[in-house]
């Protein structure tokens, strides 16, 4: 139970980041530039969360940093291809 609570308290900010990103994208559907900024901010927050989480758990390595960065890049690329398509 303690372990579940410990993990939950770590993942709650991440869930907040993703929920805020989704809500912001939906609310500002009429402003593509702002939607792009929201996605970049969400991706940056996700990477920051990863860095902090792994630092706390003492398993922060360069490969881990690159992994979070790669997921952020592909996420942003997918959304940008939708927003700024032909």
Q: Which is nearer to other proteins, 1 or 17 (by Cβ)?
A: 17
Exactly one of 14, 40, 41, 48 binds other proteins (CB under 8 A); which one?
14
Helices and strands counted in the chain (H then E)? 3, 0
Q: Going residue by residue from 21 to 40, which x/- string records binding to other proteins, judged by CB under 8 A? A: xx--xx--xxxx------x-
- Does residue 78 bind other proteins (CB under 8 A)? yes
User: Quick check: 34 and 28 in contact, CB under 8 A?
Assistant: yes
Residue 38 CB partners (closer than 8 Å, separation 6+): 21, 24, 25, 28
Q: Three-state DSSP class for 57?
A: coil
Neighbouring C-alpha atoms within 13 Å toward the C-beta of 53: 18
Q: Which is nearer to other proteins, 37 or 82 (by Cβ)?
A: 82
Q: What are the residues binding other proteins (CB under 8 A)?
A: 11, 14-15, 18, 21-22, 25-26, 29-32, 39, 42-43, 46, 49-50, 53-54, 59, 61, 63-64, 66-75, 77-79, 81-83, 85-86
């Amino acid at each position: 139970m303690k372990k579940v609570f410990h993990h939950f308290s770590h993942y709650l900010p991440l869930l907040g980041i993703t929920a805020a990103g989704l809500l912001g994208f939906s609310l500002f559907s009429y402003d593509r530039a702002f939607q792009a900024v929201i996605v970049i901010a969400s991706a940056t927050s996700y990477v920051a969360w990863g860095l902090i989480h792994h630092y706390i758990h003492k398993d922060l390595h360069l490969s881990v940093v690159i992994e979070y960065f790669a997921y952020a890049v592909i996420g942003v690329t997918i959304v940008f291809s939708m927003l700024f398509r032909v």
